[in-house]
Amino acid sequence: MELQFWGVRGSIPVPGTDTLKIGGNTTCVSIEHQGYTLVFDAGTGIRGLGQHLDGGAASTSGGCIFLSHYHWDHIQGLPFFAPAFRAENRFHLFGERKKGVDLQHILAEQMQTPYFPVSMDAQAGLVTFNEITAGQTLDLSAGLSVQSIRLNHPSGAVGFRIECADGSVCIVTDHEHSDGGVDAPIVEFAKGADILIHEAPYSPEERRGPRKGWGHSSWEDAALTAKAAEVGTLYLSHHDHERSDDEIFQRLDLARRVFEATEIATESTKRTLSRSN
């Protein structure tokens, strides 16, 4: 199982000298296993993933794209995902219905006139649009399974847990924990995962103060969740667009005091999982 981050910021892309080490693209994570590709969220980072797939042997293998929700930072890269414009590719999309509107119609909105010059009809490589619900488990190709869970975020979002013979990865992005501590259902969902990717845009003071109710977590929430769930490695991600690389790395030492096996997710972060080793 090959895990790679392509976008690790929240809200908006932030290119510039202060974001070069971590990266400025919005959320996108890929997992490749036995020639099959799973993509989680389609922020601007998915453009780089598309270039990778078009340039390698996996360019025609296809896979699945799972969307946690439809805020701009999680879908704005899909119109620039090059493999979607090649009919020989086979990508299946998964996302929730919102207020009676299905996934395909929600995504098509951002590619209609006057917002975008090319309609979604041109993306022949996106072959099916599938509704998911929180609590569902999907068994996919190559021995992969994906389980979902409800997250606490405005308009609703879902988290994912990916399992295969090589390992397990849990993705919790855009979730606000309860004031009394980390949420038990999230801890149970992540229990024993080899990798937990948990959003951490805020400090504890921001999360409990001026940004309370915004639907996000602090680095402390993420570290406490990882500790309680006894995961292998925690990656802090979905970094605040207002924080520089240096500010984010300063939080790493603080998080490691709570959960030692903590890392900062960057656009250069790759990880191989294999239980056969």
pLDDT, one tens digit for every residue, the chain (277 residues)? 999 999 999 999 999 999 999 999 999 999 999 989 999 999 999 999 999 998 755 456 689 999 999 999 999 999 999 999 999 999 999 999 999 999 999 999 999 999 999 999 999 999 999 999 999 999 998 899 999 999 999 999 999 999 999 999 999 999 999 988 899 999 999 999 999 999 999 999 999 999 999 999 999 999 999 999 999 999 999 999 999 999 999 999 999 999 999 999 999 999 999 986 4
Q: Is residue 245 included in any domain, yes or no?
A: yes
Q: Is residue 165 included in any domain, yes or no?
A: yes
Q: Is residue 68 included in any domain, yes or no?
A: yes
This prediction's pTM: 0.96
| Helix H or strand E segment including 161 | strand 157-164
User: Can you say whether residue 117 is alpha, beta or left, with left for phi > 0 and alpha for psi between -120 and 50 degrees?
Assistant: alpha
Q: Is residue 27 included in any domain, yes or no?
A: yes
Question: How many structural domains is the chain composed of?
Answer: 1
CATH number assigned to the domain comprising residue 165: 3.60.15.10
Q: Is residue 277 included in any domain, yes or no?
A: no
Determine the structural domain holding residue 193 and report its residue range: 2-272
